[in-house]
A and B are shown apart, each in its own frame.
Chain A
Amino acid sequence: METLLRPLFSVYELLVKPVAVLAEAILKAMMQVYDMLTPLLAIPFKCVEIGMQPFERPYAAIVSPLIKPFGGILGDHRLTILASLILLGLMILAIRLATHYG
């Protein structure tokens, strides 16, 4: 089988190799441009990081007390998944009731 396929592989390699070499050269050139732009690309990332910081304390002050009572459920991932499925069931039930009676 291998003997039969070998000539096919040779033809394949002959056709594909120049394409692969060209593709690699193009991609490497693109990566060089990307590397040159990296310091510029870092600016928007940094802006978002800094922009989020003033909201950290007020958001945590609101959300942390809301999730604190569920500490037991949120301490074990099996209970978390079970609670997630129950929450989904309750949401579906609420929607069905609302669309039926609403």
Chain B
Amino acid sequence: MAVRPEPFARSTAISGRALSRRGLLEREGIFSWLMLAPGVLFLLAFVAYPFFYGIWLSLQQRQVSQAGTFVGLANFVTLYHDAVFWQVTGNTFIYVVVTTVLKLTGGLAMALVINQHFRARNLVRAALLLPFIVPTILSTVAWMWIFDPTFSVINWLLVHAGMIREGFSWLGNKTLAMVSIIIVNTWRGIPFYGITLLAGLQTISPDLYEAAAIDGASVGQRFRHVTLPIIKPIVIIVTMFSVIFTFSDFQIVYALTHGGPANATQVFVTYAFDLGMSGGQLGMGAAAALAMLPALALLIVGLTLYLRRE
């Protein structure tokens, strides 16, 4: 005769101690929620609440220090008819796409190099992380001097090398201003890609490379058929994070150009800040900030689906 376990045999005991604190904590269901609670509360307070409040704000005519009036999608309609908003949209996409491509390429190259064995490798790895470690605003101030027309080290080098007669106006020219913020964002973002991809590279067994080499695969072929397929999920995840960070990059643009000259480097977040904080139009500012949500959501969903399919 089969003897059934007695999963509910403790019912008497539980009922006896149901009201005791110790008894409640003994139950895994309750205990696990208690352990999760701080994290969940943190996310609710600092992610979910601001996010949904932002959506609610964007649907209101809400001036600072005044009560809001629900206006539906009117703020979005206003932005739709605002020429500057479309310039901002174009700027943001150029900024995000170009920096992402540069950071991915540069980060992958960095990871491949620092994955090799060479003297002082650990020191080099630490040094390459510096741009990511230094507070953004601090390094951006340093870049302000690098791009300064009088003190620019780049201009000095180019002029003294005889390559140009006069220094460039890095932040005054609309094209160079965009190039400048792209350079700074790329400089700062490459280590994030580099270190993350390095972690991926280190999971690849050397046996795979040996086997490929024995089969006559060239360096390029080994990279294409061994390295890339293995690190592809990491590339996708790191790109996803990077795109999100770049879309919401505020400090570099705000400190270097504040969106100038003539909005040539104005991006969603700086425009939203100007509208909401400087202009006191909190509803409109929230709408401008949320305008990047559809593109981000599409990208995240697309990449996640691709990752799952893979």
Are A and B co-members of a single complex?
Answer: no
Which B residues have a C-beta under 8 Å from some C-beta of A? none
